[in-house]
Amino acid sequence: MSRPSSPKKIFSPKLLPWLDIAAIAAWGILLLVYWGTGKLALLIHPNYTVLTVVTGIVLLLVAFYKAWLLLRQSRNSGPVMQHLNLLPPGWSSTLLLTIAILGLIIPPRAFASQTALQRGVNDSITLTRVKPQSFQTAKNPENKTLIEWIRELQVRPEPDLYTGQKVKLQGFVVHPPNLPQEYFLLTRFVITCCAADVYPVSLPVKVKSGDRNTYKPDGWLEVQGQIITESLENKRQVVIQETSSQVIPEPKNPYDS
């Protein structure tokens, strides 16, 4: 009875250690490239930037050290480093290397209106998880950001307190299907740790022209206007009566924190 043949090795034993080194180095490069290009802000809270950069540097140092050991070992004709993987030898490193390369080729993008609708932007004022005790208001209402307004509304939710106050806010446009045609939501995403936990906050804007299709979904605007109180979806709430709007480029860091 013939002995079953062993599975064909796809990766050469000499190549396996270099695949590990390449995967580790690629992830270090990926983290540092994201940091250098400003894309890291799309993935993590600014508080974790230093930690991520240090991780990228450490990964590169580990890769260089392993490469040095491997070269030294090969010169001394020592045994090739052994690997213990759940996947067949070489596949785990190849997978990590492929993901890192794809990350370098396909840059991350900020979340947009479709994600906001999926995560419940329709009810953003009640869904916001901002802690009232962390709120610090700007003295001039026109200097408050969107997230600062949301925080203040969490502390003092009576809409009539703000009637007539002027605002100048930046955010992207969302067209919720449940609001009348003359309203859109000016929206920002808030990040607390990483991109996985971002959530939308927004304020309704009553369009000056009466037609929100003037502004395309996902477009970034700086809206100037004043606060009025209206009933939307059977709920009295703060609404921004638009007086003027200006199209602006997407900020380098589109998230609030």
Rounded Cα distance between 4 and 134, Å, is 68
Specify the pTM. Answer: 0.66
Provide the terminal-to-terminal Cα distance of the chain, rounded to the nearest Å.
Answer: 69
113-256 has CATH 2.40.50.140 classification: yes
- Give residues with Cβ within 8 angstroms of 16, minimum separation 6: 80, 81, 83, 89, 90, 93
Tokens of 137: 């208001």
Rounded Cα distance between 199 and 129, Å, is 9
Per-residue pLDDT 10s for the chain (257 aa) are 445 444 445 555 677 778 888 888 888 898 899 899 888 877 877 778 888 888 889 888 988 888 888 888 777 655 544 443 433 455 566 767 777 777 777 666 666 666 665 555 534 443 444 444 444 444 577 888 898 898 888 888 888 999 999 999 999 999 988 889 999 999 988 887 776 677 888 899 999 998 999 999 999 999 999 999 998 888 889 999 999 999 999 888 787 65
Contact (Cβ atoms closer than 8 angstroms) between residue 170 and residue 248: yes
Q: Which residue has the tokens 């022209």?
A: 209
Domain range annotation of the chain: 16-105, 113-256
- Give residues with Cβ within 8 angstroms of 247, minimum separation 6: 219, 220, 221
